[in-house]
Each structure stands twice: as structure tokens, then as C-alpha cells.
A and B are shown apart, each in its own frame.
Chain A
Amino acid sequence: MDWLEKELAKALERKEPSPDFAAKLTARIESEAPRRSRLFHFPRWMPAAAAFVMLATSGSLAWRRHQGMVAKEQVMLAMRITAGKLNHVQAHVREAQQ
């Protein structure tokens, strides 16, 4: 890979969706599943939701870390954009001072 291809690979690195993506998906699955009689078996969505909750509980620390990393990346992006703009100002001020 040449320089451009490496930069493209970096630029197109996978990004995480919002931290509540899975929660929203669960909610949609629950709302779209047809209702069933609860007399002899659980509604179809309940095992899915229960499994999700089980996984969420057992993986809560990992998930929390994941959310934190997503938020951190947003902070770094904001700071990079700000630094870039301030750098533009600085470059021209320097030039004017010379």
C-alpha cells in the first residue's frame, strides 16, 4: 500500500455507532415482535431481551469502557478541529509579525 492507500485505510477505519445503539435495537425488536399468549411460553421477544440483558450485565464493565472510548474519541476530534483552526490563525499572525 502506498501513502494514500494507508491514509485511506486510516480515514475509513470502522467507527462505533452511538453508545445506545444496541439498546435502541432491542427496543425496536420488542416493539415489532407480535404478542403471544403467555400461558404456556414466553413472548418471542423476551428471550432476546433477557439474553441481551444477561450479556449487558455480564459485560457491563466492557461496555462502559467502550462507551468511554467513544466519548474520548469525540473529545479528541473536537480538540483536533479546534487546534487546526487556531493553527491557521497562528500561521498568519506569525507572518504578519515578521
Chain B
Amino acid sequence: MIELERVEETSCDFATLVREHQAMVFSLSYHFLHDRDLAEEIAQEVFLSLHKHIADIKSPEHAVFWLRKVVVQRSIDETRRKKRRPQVALELVAEPAAASSRDSDPLLGEVLRRLIATLPETPRMVMVMRYQEDLDPAEISELLEMPLGTVKSHLQRSLALLREKLQRRGVGDY
């Protein structure tokens, strides 16, 4: 009976963690890979892994950190495994199709998501962490185990590239 209660408590936590964080986990993978089915698969695997390691989770904050770390690793692994995107210098990234003006374009969000998806994997993940999760550079640096200066550099260069591409298309508020 005691064992059952203990298991129930853990299971309730797990269910709560799934409900509270499934959007975060799925979205991190989706915005990185730009593939809904694959992102769902990876999100499932992340939570399966969480289920196996649930005893190691010390707090809700720890769970969030753990989930972010694992989904980042899995998503990057998937990219490398399938060679989903050739490594291209930022300046040479091809332009996806874009609409003509910000005010009349209902698909600006989709344009931006696709532009993000064409970035090399490291700056891509930095950008997703920054703008999906609203993490500051120091938090991103800790999560991705990357020097703070490198994180800032990726952010600056990626934003500059996006601005340039959008401005070329006549989209923007400059």
C-alpha cells in the first residue's frame, strides 16, 4: 500500500509535468526542426525519458531545466543524424518565399519561423531559446553549455541577418 501511494504521488507529478510542459517541449523541437510529426515524436521520447528518470527530478524548476536540456540534445541529434540541413554560413542562407509587406501579410509569423529554420543549428537553437522561452543570454549559455560571448554573438548575427532579409523584401518597421 505504501509502495502504491509512493508510485501514485510520482505518477501524479509526472502527469502534471506532461500537462504543464508538453507545449514547451513540443515547441522547442518544432521551432528547431520545423517538422510537426518529428517534433511530436521527439517530445514523446523526451517525456518517456523523464518518466524513467522521474526519481532524479528534485523540483519543478529542475524539471523545466532537465526537459529543456534533453529536448535540445535530442533535436540537435536528430538534425545531425538525418543531416536535415547542410551547414551553411549565415550569410549564404537562401531566402524562403515571403510576402510583400508586413501590414498586409498574415503569414509573417510563418516567414519568420522558416527563416529561423534555415539558420545553422547552433544559432537556430539560441534564437529559439531566446524568443520562444524568453531566456536571457546567461540562461541560454548555461543550458547549452556555451560561452556567454558566443551566445550573444549568435543572437546579434542572426538578428542582423533576419533584418537584412526582411528589409530586402520590404517587410519591417525601420
Interface residues of A (CB under 8 A from B): 3-5, 7-18, 21-22, 24-25, 28-29, 32, 41-42, 44, 47-48, 50-52, 55, 59, 80-81, 83-84, 87
Q: Are B23 and A16 in contact (CB under 8 A)?
A: yes
Nearest CB to that of B7 among chain A residues? A47
Q: Are A21 and B106 in contact (CB under 8 A)?
A: no
- Is B112's beta carbon under 8 Å from chain A? yes
A interface majority secondary structure: helix
Q: Mark B106-123, 1 if CB is under 8 A from A, else 0.
A: 111110110010000000
Interface centre among A9, A22, A47, A83 (most CB of B within 10 A): A47
Q: Are A7 and B109 in contact (CB under 8 A)?
A: yes
Knowing A7-B108, A18-B40, A41-B3 touch, does A25 contact B18 (C-beta < 8 A)? yes
Q: For the complex, what is the distance from the CA of A22 to the CA of B23, rounded to whole Å? A: 11
> A8 touches which one: B14, B44, B47, B131 (CB < 8 A)?
B131
Q: For the complex, what is the distance from the CA of A15 to the CA of B40, rounded to whole Å? A: 11
Knowing A5-B159, A12-B131, A21-B44 touch, does A84 contact B4 (C-beta < 8 A)? no
Interface centre among A4, A5, A22 (most CB of B within 10 A): A4
